[in-house]
Structures are given as C-alpha cells and as structure tokens.
Amino acid sequence: MATEGDQMTADGVSGTDRVAQDAHARWEALGRVNGPLTRPWQLADGATARARVDPNGLMARFLGDDLRGIHVLLACGGGGQQSAALGLLGASVTVVDQDAGQLARDHRTWEAHHLPAGSLATLRADIRDVAAIDLVGEPFALVWMPYSINFVPDCRPVITALASKLAPEGVFRLQAANPFVLGMHPGDRAGDAYLRRGTYVDGDRVVAADPEWVYDRSLGIDVPRAVEYRHTLSTLINATVEAGLRVVHVEDAVDVPMDPTEAPGTWDHFCATNPPWLAIWAIRP
C-alpha cells in the first residue's frame, strides 16, 4: 500500500497487494471504455449540481444550503462527478483515489466548469492508508465516500480514519453495497424471482458479473470484474458508531431507478426488488 501521496509504482500498483491490483485493473479498464462510473457529469449550473448530488435534500438538511467556504473530502471519489457538483455549490474539494485517470477527470471537469483552480486538491493514494496522510483542507465539514467501501476487505479502519478527518459537527456520508444484495445479478433468476447466492459473512470476497449498463460490450475490451467484499449491515453501522459518530439517517436505496412495472431481469425491476446501494449519514459530535 502507498503510505503518503502518490507513491505507487510505474504501473500504478503499490507493492504486490492484491486489493490494490484488483482495483487498479478494474478502474483503468472502465476508464478506457468510458463506462458511466468514469464519465464526468455534465452540470449546467448550481441547481443541476444540487439535483445530482443531493436529490432528496439530506445534504442540505445536515450541512445547510450554502457550501461556500467549506472543505469536502471525497474518499475514493474520482471521476469528475461529485467533485464538480460540490465545487459548483461553492465547496473546496479534496479527492483521494487510487486511479490516475479518475483524478485527471476531476481536474478536467473542474476546469471545464471554470471553478477556482486552487479549490481542488487531488491525491493518488490507497484509501486504506488515509489515516497516515495529512490532507489539504483537513478537518473537513463533509466526508463523502461514494460507492467504494466494498473494494476493501475490512471497512472498519477506513471508516475510523475518515471519521478522524471530520471537524466537530462535520457530516459523514458513506455509500455501500446493500449486503443482502451484493453478488446478485439481474439475469440470475427463476421466473420473476431473483436468486441470492453466497453467504452473509463479513469480509466475504464477491466477484459477480456486471449488469449491462456498466460498460459497452460491443467495444470488445476486456474489463475485469469488480472484486468486492461484503460488509454486513451491523458492521457498517457499528463501525460508524464506534468511530465516534452519531448516525442520523440511513437510506436503503440510492442512485437507482426502481420500477416494479418493468420486465423481470431489467435493471429497473431488479432494483425495485433488490436495491443495490445504501447510504449512512452520520455526524461527528
């Protein structure tokens, strides 16, 4: 693992760590195929940004309407998505991500939106090392971890480290796989029922096929499957509480279409039955 700043080897893999290698291979390939998770958001203005990053008003509820002057840590948040949206809302943003392409997209998108050059800091590092790194903007009013905690086998030290980067009254938003859904696939079903496989064990390694939308197969480029680790619901919540934070809200379906009227096997129907991602909101007292 890298311990400080950009200390990865020339091929982007720090040491021989399997977790870092898996993440590197996956995100480098997704960038090459311009998959949606590596595609910067097109944001017309602050209202569009707010709609993307705060569709149900929770961020405004916990942090207030005005992000001007606040510092945000985006943990594993590269790609030119949340960074640009939060920048358009007035925040200064520090992004930590292991993928150089994702961080380059943050810079490109930031510049394309004519945001202040000095208000974006990016650091290429493994999030498992974040406790030992002094970050630009620390302590943060908001630590936002988009979907990524499931790429590390043990979420507890990462959650503890991220909590320690928060200012008093700072807000933590942790997105994670719904542990009851991780590993399921829309195409794996019996009639209109979806099959659930694997065991409900914390740290389980899960390597499932991607749903269709993740990348365009017609390009003929080989994209390695995501290697993920199950974090049970109790682990996620208890790790947040034990990191000294007060859990203030839980969302059990984020960023997904949910339409039970669609045909079984479609992404919208699958999500209506098995919402794949949840989010935990917590505040540092």
Ligand X SMILES: C[S@@+](CC[C@H](N)C(=O)[O-])C[C@H]1O[C@@H](n2cnc3c(N)ncnc32)[C@H](O)[C@@H]1O
Per CB under 6 A, residues contacting ligand X are 23, 27, 37, 76-79, 81-82, 97-99, 102, 126-128, 146-148, 151-152
- Minimal distance, residue 178 CB to ligand X, in Å: 15
Contacts of 84 (CB under 8 A, 6+ apart): 40, 41, 43, 49, 106, 109, 110, 112, 113, 115
Question: What burial class does residue 204 get, using C-beta atoms within 10 Å of its C-beta: 0-12 exposed, 13-18 middle, 19+ buried?
Answer: middle
Identify which of residues 54 and 126 has a Cβ nearer to ligand X in the complex: 126
Identify which of residues 119 and 241 has a Cβ nearer to ligand X in the complex: 119
**114 and 142 Cβ atoms separated by less than 8 Å:** no
- Minimal distance, residue 37 CB to ligand X, in Å: 4
What single string gives the DSSP state of each residue in 172-233? EEEEEE-TTTTT--TT-EETTEE---S---TT-EE--PPPGGGS-GGG----PPPPEE---H
Identify which of residues 34 and 192 has a Cβ nearer to ligand X in the complex: 34
- Minimal distance, residue 98 CB to ligand X, in Å: 4
Identify which of residues 74 and 141 has a Cβ nearer to ligand X in the complex: 74
For the chain, give me the number of helices (H) and strands (E)?
Answer: 8, 11
Identify which of residues 195 and 209 has a Cβ nearer to ligand X in the complex: 209
- Strand partners of residue 249: 281
Strands 246-251 and 120-124 come out as: unpaired
- Minimal distance, residue 23 CB to ligand X, in Å: 4
Q: What token pair was written down for 170?
A: 């700072």
C-alpha 177 chain-centroid distance: 10
Identify which of residues 189 and 205 has a Cβ nearer to ligand X in the complex: 205
DSSP state of 118: G
Nearest Cα to Cα of residue 276 among 244, 249, 250, 252: 252
- Minimal distance, residue 47 CB to ligand X, in Å: 20
- Minimal distance, residue 4 CB to ligand X, in Å: 14
- Minimal distance, residue 264 CB to ligand X, in Å: 26
Identify which of residues 77 and 183 has a Cβ nearer to ligand X in the complex: 77
**9 and 98 Cβ atoms separated by less than 8 Å:** no
